[in-house]
Structures are given as C-alpha cells and as structure tokens.
Amino acid sequence: MSKVRWTADAFWNLQDQIPEDRKPLTYILYADKAKLSSFGRAKGYPVVARIANLPTSIRNGEGFGGGRVVGWLPIVKEDKRQRNKPPWAAFKNVVWHKSFERILEDIAAHSKSGCWIRCWDDIERKFYPRVLVLSADYEGQCVMALTRGVSSKYPCPICIIPREELSNVANRPVYPLRTRDGVIATLHKARNESRTEGEETLMAEGLRDIDNAFNAVESADVHRALPFSNLALLLFHPPSPSPLLPPSPLLSSSPSPAQNYPAQTPPPTTP
C-alpha cells in the first residue's frame, strides 16, 4: 500500500476550490491487479476506495471506516493474433476507462454540485467528492495516465522526461509535469490533425488517444494523484506546481518549457 503524503496541503487547496462553508470528501482509490478473481469465464480485479478524511488508523483498517471494494475492472482476454499491436493495446485501455467511468459515476455527478450528508454529530454538511490519491502498479499508472508504457519515448506517467534521460542524474534539466489540461490540449490537437500528424503529436508525449475516465470528476488530475517513490522524486520528477502538492525541496535545476505544459521554477538550493 502506498503512503499518502502531504495530505494536509492537499486538503487545504481542495478547500479553496469549493464554497467556503462546504467540505471536500476525498477518496483514495486502489486498483489492485494482484487480487485477480474469476467470474465464470471472465476475470477481473477489485477497485478499493478509502476515505482520506478519516484518520489513517481507521481508513487503513479492516473494520468500520476502512477500505471497501467499489467495483471490478475486467481483464480483456488476450488475442494471440492481435497481441503487441497498437490497436489492441488501445482497445484494452478503452475498456479500462469505460469500466472506471461506471465506478466514478456518482462521484463525478456530486463533485460538481455537492451532496448533503448527515454526520455523526447529527449535523448535515454539504460535501464535494474529490479524488485525492490513485494507487496502482506502474502498468496501472500508465493506463490511468494514458501513457504508452516503459517502451515509449516518454514512459513516466507524471512528467515528460525522455526515456534516455531517466538514468542521467547529473546536469539534467527539469522536465515539465504532465497535467490534466495539458493532456486534454494535446489530444484535441491530435484529433484535429491528419492521422499521421496526430499520431506524431501523441507519440511526442507518449500518449494514447483515449478519453480519460477521471476527467468527469471535478478537479481530478491523474498525474497529481498518482503516488511516487522517494527515489523517483529525487531522480525523475521536477518540483510540482500542482494545487494539491507543494514544491519539492529536493531538486534544483533550470526549467525546460514544453508546449501545453507549464515550465517548472526550481526551488532554492538546500544547503
């Protein structure tokens, strides 16, 4: 299970995005492909939801207030004739996002208008659901972020770093973060180009031409919600301009702007 970091800052910024007298109801969603189950001839794996508003000891427990299975994601049976072909990979990703749309339906609807909930102190409060954290293995993160995986030119689901630069720790520029709006802009551009030009536009950022299920949820940015390891933070990712996460004090370098994405301002060097 991934550790949830900086949630205090995340809550503070989410609160600024909703009416002053309302509250954010934040979700941590886990897509756990390791717990594969069979349903007759079909296979699927669970999506577990936890409420980030609750203390860690409660939300990570197995009792009342702990995680709950809120849906199942299907495993598309492999077709040997289509395996490793780009259209087949795209099809499997479309199935994933269409399935997740069903899981997010209620959250998406209430994320815009809010919903009234009677709390344990018998006071009704209006909550706005938000997706705070997404947890999955690397393969799952690539599906969530619409990236093309480890073999693509830009394999990171969080920032746009070229694959050949991943091992270049010294004297490397800071690469721009992926953002929800940036990805939407890239997809829009690609869809208005010829097939060849559009594919080149997508490959230039390692993206797939698929509508992201999480875009239906107000303020949901997959690239900010995905977790990362401390090693990845140190080596691969630039300081975050996200409204949910504070800048990292661990990196210092020059920004490198890219189309549709904000350039990153480096923090002061830590002695």
What pLDDT does residue 266 have?
36
Cα 134 to Cα 203: distance, rounded to the nearest angstrom: 24
Length of the chain: 271
- Pick the range with the lowest mean pLDDT from 73-77, 107-111, 188-192: 73-77
Contact 73, 45 (CB under 8 A): yes
Q: What is the pLDDT of residues 89-141, one digit of tens each?
A: 899 999 999 999 999 999 999 999 999 999 889 999 999 999 999 999 889 99
Over 80: is that where the pLDDT of 7 sits? no
Q: What is the pLDDT of residues 133-178, one digit of tens each?
A: 999 988 999 999 999 988 899 999 999 999 988 877 666 678 899 9
Chain centroid to Cα 45, Å, comes to 18
Taking phi first (over 0 means left), then psi (-120 to 50 degrees means alpha), and beta for anything else, what does residue 171 get?
left
Tell me what pLDDT residue 199 has.
95
Q: What's the CA angle centered on 1, arms 224 and 252, to 5 degrees?
A: 40
Strands (E), the chain: 23-31, 37-39, 42-51, 68-74, 115-118, 124-135
More confident residue, 19 or 217: 217
- Write down the mean pLDDT value for the chain: 81
Question: On the CB side of 17, how many CA atoms lie within 13 Å of its CA?
Answer: 22
- pTM, entire model: 0.78
Q: Which pLDDT value is given to residue 262?
A: 43
pLDDT of residue 168: 76
| Residue 47 β-bridge partners | 31, 71
Is 211:97 a contact under the CB 8 Å cutoff? yes
